[in-house]
Amino acid sequence: MKTIDLIAGARPNFMKVAPILRELRLRQRQSGGGGLDYRLVHTGQHYDRAMNSVFFEELGIPAPDVQLAGGGGNHAQQTARVMTEYDALCQSKRPDCTVVVGDVDSTLACSLVAAKLQIPLAHVEAGLRSGDRSMPEEINRLVVDAVSDIYFVTEPSGTQHLLEEGKSRTSIHEVGNLMVDTLFYQRGSSVGERGNRAEDPDRLLVYQFKKQMAERGLRYAVVTLHRPANVDDPERLAGLLQALASLSAQIPVVFPVHPRTQRALDHLRPSLGSDVHIFPPLPYMAFLDLWSDAALVLTDSGGLQEETTALGVPCLTLRDTTERPVTISNGSNQLAGTEPSQILTLARTILARDSSHIFDKPALWDGQAARRIVDRLRLFLQCE
């Protein structure tokens, strides 16, 4: 029996590990695991309930087998803490493979540990590149792919980047998108409907907002902001908030505020207007209830670019680059940059468009990525 360490540490990771865990557990029930066992390692990078445990509850993720204490501090402190703790774990009980997802600091830290201990390393969501090295995530992506042994790719651009960087074609596997696996599963299963709105204050908040919009006969837009380049620069953040305030004169805007962004707002104290609605950070299902019915999503999130593409919801990415170009070429996403006038022009063009427009869905974004990943891991590890 071979054992993999499945690494999760921050909110974006949880939506990606959930389908892999579900597939592994299904195979354990059906055939004793098919020669592949797992250890779920939570690095502790996100540790408050709004960004952490509520996602485990909603996504049906079991309690971690190992809980590290990697939370808090800046990039260097967090990375060092996770590296130290994961190194100790691997020294005490070495896995046959470490599987990391995405591009957060936990992904980088555990990848470096595995590489130095010569533990085979698998990177899920490999090959994505924005070309913008001012983004911490871009540095993480480059380093993780430099030391990985097997690459699971979500879109053709990922394959092309890895080949250009000298990776072997036989180590690269286009498998689809785990974010889409989770999206389809949560929308269509009883797990996604666990608990009614009256018992879930976050979903009740969203339900009441949507009810108010329906009573006013209005559509609405949703915005998320959390990238350091957008929220840590007071001048840029002020410009983005100005765009939202102007847009709200045409359509109500709801803004679930990330903790990092809330700190910036507390310092800036902007005037947003009466139709920008500030919400707390929302767990997965409440946020899905909100954005999936929006007329427009404005975001600097990578994952939300993918999710809106999967459901055909118009999206403006508030950045100058994207590491997910398939969401533009085959989806509903457009790069809007951070200039307020450009954002408003694109938003108004979208809102004036026929809402019945149908967007293409990228190849393999069919909800089966986890199955393909587990199949490939079994072959890679030569499971019995």
> Would 184 be classed as within a structural domain?
no
pLDDT in tens, 314-372: 999 999 999 999 999 987 999 999 999 999 999 999 999 877 778 888 999 999 999 99
Q: Which residues pair with 277 in a beta bridge?
A: 254
Q: Are residues 226 and 147 in the same domain?
A: no
Convert the pLDDT of each residue in 183-209 to its tens digit.
999 998 544 444 455 568 999 999 999
pLDDT of residue 92 exceeding 70, the answer is: yes
- Looking at residue 327, what is its pLDDT? 96
Residue 195 lies in a domain: no
The answer on 204 and 313 residing in a single domain is yes
Domain containing 260: what range?
Answer: 200-351
Give residue 276's Cα distance to chain centre.
24
Kindly report which listed range (13-17, 98-102, 369-373) carries the lowest average pLDDT score.
13-17
Mean pLDDT of the chain: 91
> What total number of domains does the chain contain?
2
Question: Does 360 map to a domain?
Answer: no
CA distance 261 to 289: 22
Same domain, 42 and 154: yes
HEC profile of the chain: CEEEEEEECCHHHHHHHHHHHHHHHHHHHHHCCCCEEEEEEECCCCCCHHHCHHHHHHHCCCCCCEECCCCCCCHHHHHHHHHHHHHHHHHHCCCCEEEEECCCHHHHHHHHHHHHCCCCEEEECCCCCCCCCCCHHHHHHHHHHHHCCEEEECCHHHHHHHHHCCCCHHHEEECCCHHHHHHHHHHHCCCCCCCCHHHCHHHHHHHHHHHHHHHHCCCCEEEECCCHHHHCCHHHHHHHHHHHHHHCCCCCEEEECCHHHHHHHHHHCCCCCCCEEEECCCCHHHHHHHHCCCCEEEECCHHHHHHHHHHCCCEEECCCCCCCCHHHHCCCEEECCCCHHHHHHHHHHHHCCCCCCCCCCCCCCCCCHHHHHHHHHHHHCCCC
pLDDT reading at 53 higher than 90: no
pLDDT in tens, 118-173: 999 999 999 999 999 999 999 999 999 999 999 999 999 999 999 999 999 999 99
CATH value at residue 335: 3.40.50.2000
Mean pLDDT of the 219-232 span: 94
Q: Check whether residue 117 and residue 261 sit in a common domain.
A: no
Instruction: Judge whether 356 lies within some domain.
Output: no
The residue behind tokens 């971690």 is 64
pLDDT at 52: 52
Confidence of residue 312 (pLDDT cuts 50, 70, 90): very high
Place of tokens 């046959």: 96
Please report, in angstroms and rounded to a whole number, the separation of the first and last CA atoms in the chain.
Answer: 7
Assessment of whether the complete model's pTM goes beyond 0.75: yes
- Catalogue the active-site residues: 226
Q: Based on the domain organization, do 148 and 238 belong to the same domain? A: no
Q: Which of 9, 150, 159, 19 is nearest to 71 (CA)?
A: 9
Question: Does 357 reside within a domain?
Answer: no
